[in-house]
Amino acid sequence: SQTIHQWPATLVQPVGSPLSLECTVEGTSNPNLYWYRQAAGRGLQLLFYSIGIDQISSEVPQNLSASRPQDRQFILSSKKLLLSDSGFYLCAWSVQPGGGTEAFFGQGTRLTVV
């Protein structure tokens, strides 16, 4: 069966420090991968999605970047965190081709920038 792992579960980082959140998927190949951010009490905002290795699309301009060095690995990064980067970050995957299948979410990383 397929599983998605996301870590760390919680993270407290000072303003200006770098960030690296990692997500890996097991049990499937060539998945679509997604990074979402969720502010407290709000909906899901798509940050990045990827349809293959080194193929990343950014949905909103921001202080973050994403990379996909391997088929089932998706990394969210920042060189210098801002206070506004605080939030709940969710990684998700879905089956390709796109459309018509659900997305499966990881357990999320709660990031607090202080």
Partner 1 sequence: GESVGLHLPTLSVQEGDNSIINCAYSNSASDYFIWYKQESGKGPQFIIDIRSNMDKRQGQRVTVLLNKTVKHLSLQIAATQPGDSAVYFCAENHNNYGQNFVFGPGTRLSVLP
Q: Where are the alpha helices (DSSP H) in 1-114?
A: none
Question: Quick one: which segment of 12-20, 64-72, 74-82, 91-99 binds partner 1 (CB under 8 A)?
Answer: 91-99
For partner 1, the closer of residues 19 and 37 by Cβ is: 37
Q: With CA atoms as reference, report the closest residue to 94 among 47, 25, 44.
A: 25
Dig out the tokens for 114 from the structure. 């202080």
64/34 Cα distance (integer angstroms): 14
Q: State yes or no: residue 51 binds partner 1 (CB under 8 A).
A: yes
Helix (H, G, I), strand (E, B), or coil: what is residue 84?
helix
User: d(Cα 50, Cα 71) in Å, to the nearest integer?
Assistant: 10
Among 13, 28, 45, 58, binds partner 1 (CB under 8 A): 45
**Is residue 53 involved in binding partner 1 (CB under 8 A)?**
no
61 near partner 1 (CB under 8 A)? no
CA distance linking residue 10 with residue 13, whole number of Å: 10
| Minimum distance, C-beta of residue 32 to partner 1, in the bound complex (Å) | 4
Residues that bind partner 1 (CB under 8 A): 6, 32, 34, 39, 41-46, 49, 51, 57, 59, 90, 92, 94, 96, 98-108, 110
